[in-house]
Structure 1
Amino acid sequence: MSSPKPSITTAPLSAMRQSTLDRIEQAVLHLFDGRDASEVTMTEIANSANVSLQTLYKYFGDKQTVIYTILDRVLARLAARMIDHLQGIDSVKERLRKTLWVCFDFVDSNPNAVMVLSTAVPVSRYRNIAIYENRMLLDAFLTVLADGQSRGILNDAVPLYTLFDVYMGFISRLGLMHIIRQHPGPITDEFDALFTILWRAMSMPESQTV
């Protein structure tokens, strides 16, 4: 029986210069855009970011941690905007509309990040990206959906988490395919029509609301 591998002790990321972290972020988003994680080496990341290989191992330990950390950094900025747009609006429909806009605007502004998330990280490993465990973001969003169900506005024939999956699946599939198909315009150009489709899918059937 083989002995377990020793855990890797890395330096705190807070000790790294922000300019260095910015370069590593840009390198990761460029190198992993549309490529499998196995096709990119730590040496390539170091060279592209103009940092030493020793620095990468010192702060991250391995390639997967580099990917997870950078995606967490990018998605944390999306989460901050999302939480901000969930504040101060009572209408369930308007809150969903605002957050969908934020997500689609993110797709238009960060197509490489969307591709890296889709091609370099298996869905089963999404939980390794810290923002996916951000209780503030998750609770804020689930509260919107739960409130909509309790008011009889959103469909309550399915559990809360299923409704959440419908919403997230709609965003992720549309965003990814918009990029892959290289649509000439931004996805936000189709926002009104897309939100109408999503709202019809998530809201209570009219026959049950009269």
Structure 2
Amino acid sequence: MTETRPTPRGTSASRHAGSRGACERIEAAALALFAERPAEQVRLNEIAAAAGASLATIYRHYDDKQALLEVCLLRWADTLANRMLEHLQAVHTYRERLHKTFWVVLDFFETYPEVAAMLLSSVYPQAMRRHTTDTQKHLTRLLTGVLADGQAAGLLNQRVSESVLLDYFYGVLARLVQMQPLRHGEPRLTDQHEELFDMLWRALAEPDRGV
């Protein structure tokens, strides 16, 4: 009868922790390089060297460079979505909910400018639409509901759908965030958020109700 050697206690957890640590280093290195230049100009062996990992380790966790880019994007998008949901819990009026969301996004990208740089240099709209997490879907439903309720209350433009209003809202935010690294982060968007949001609110509001 063949003897089965017992697995040492904690071995599986240690391997899991080691894999998680390797992924964190790889994704941090990838983020830094994707922020510097377009993804197609970044080689996987550069990422491996920056992360102190082997190519074999990268391929063990990611199918290819595009998969690694999308994982980086999804992790940061999920972090942002969670932060937005957390801040929205204590806000009740339509205007203030949108204003709080607007500020949280600006603050997030000022805190993590490398993520904004990655979005500008390496992420294309089709890549952002391919995958979404449950948290991101929940946030989209919540904000779409806020916009629909604002329309029903006569505060927001009723001539377009709530989905178009959401696209408009995110479109303005995306442009501000993506252009900020090119302006070297000055002046800070969070320092101007009151005026910037007021301009956006006027664009979304039902005529004669936005002032």
Q: TM-score range by the shorter chain?
A: 0.7 to 0.9
CA contact (8 A) 1:86 1:140 kept: no
Identify the residue that residue 4 of structure 2 maps to in structure 1: none
Identify the residue that residue 142 of structure 1 maps to in structure 2: 144
Identify the residue that residue 38 of structure 1 maps to in structure 2: 40
Change (3 A) 1:111 1:131: farther
Count of equivalent residues: 196
CA contact (8 A) 2:107 2:190 kept: yes
Change (3 A) 1:164 1:113: same
1:113 correspondence with 2:123: no
> Structure 2 CA distance, aligned partners of 1:149 and 1:78?
26
**Displacement of 1:20 after TM fit?**
2.2
TM-score scaled by structure 2? 0.85
Q: Over the residues paired in the alignment, what is the CA RMSD in angstroms?
A: 2.1
**Displacement of 1:154 after TM fit?**
1.1
Change (3 A) 1:135 1:71: same
Identify the residue that residue 70 of structure 2 maps to in structure 1: 68
> Structure 2 CA distance, aligned partners of 1:127 and 1:54?
29
Matched residue type, 1:143: G
CA contact (8 A) 1:68 1:128 kept: no
Q: CA-to-partner distance for each residue in 1:83-123, whole Å, 9 max, x for gaps? A: 12222422001101111010000120111111212321221
Identify the residue that residue 80 of structure 1 maps to in structure 2: 82
**Range with greater deviation from structure 2 (56-65 or 112-121):** 112-121
**Displacement of 1:45 after TM fit?**
0.8
**Displacement of 1:21 after TM fit?**
2.4
SS, match of residue 32 in structure 1: helix
Change (3 A) 1:80 1:123: same
**Displacement of 1:68 after TM fit?**
0.3
Identify the residue that residue 184 of structure 1 maps to in structure 2: 186
* Higher-Rg member (1/2): 2
1:155 correspondence with 2:193: no
TM-score scaled by structure 1? 0.86
SS, match of residue 134 in structure 1: helix
CA contact (8 A) 2:77 2:136 kept: no
CA contact (8 A) 2:82 2:135 kept: no
Matched residue type, 1:174: L
> Structure 2 CA distance, aligned partners of 1:197 and 1:38?
37
Q: CA-to-partner distance for each residue in 1:181-200, whole Å, 9 max, x for gaps? A: 21334210111110110111
Gaps of 5+ in 2: 1-14
Identify the residue that residue 90 of structure 1 maps to in structure 2: 92
> Structure 1 CA distance, aligned partners of 2:61 and 2:51?
14
Change (3 A) 1:154 1:182: same
CA contact (8 A) 1:146 1:160 kept: yes
Identity %: 36
**Range with greater deviation from structure 2 (101-110 or 131-140):** 131-140
Gaps of 5+ in 1: 1-13
Point out 4+ residue stretches in structure 1 off by more than 4 angstroms.
none
Identify the residue that residue 170 of structure 1 maps to in structure 2: 172
> Structure 1 CA distance, aligned partners of 2:164 and 2:136?
19
> Structure 2 CA distance, aligned partners of 1:151 and 1:96?
15
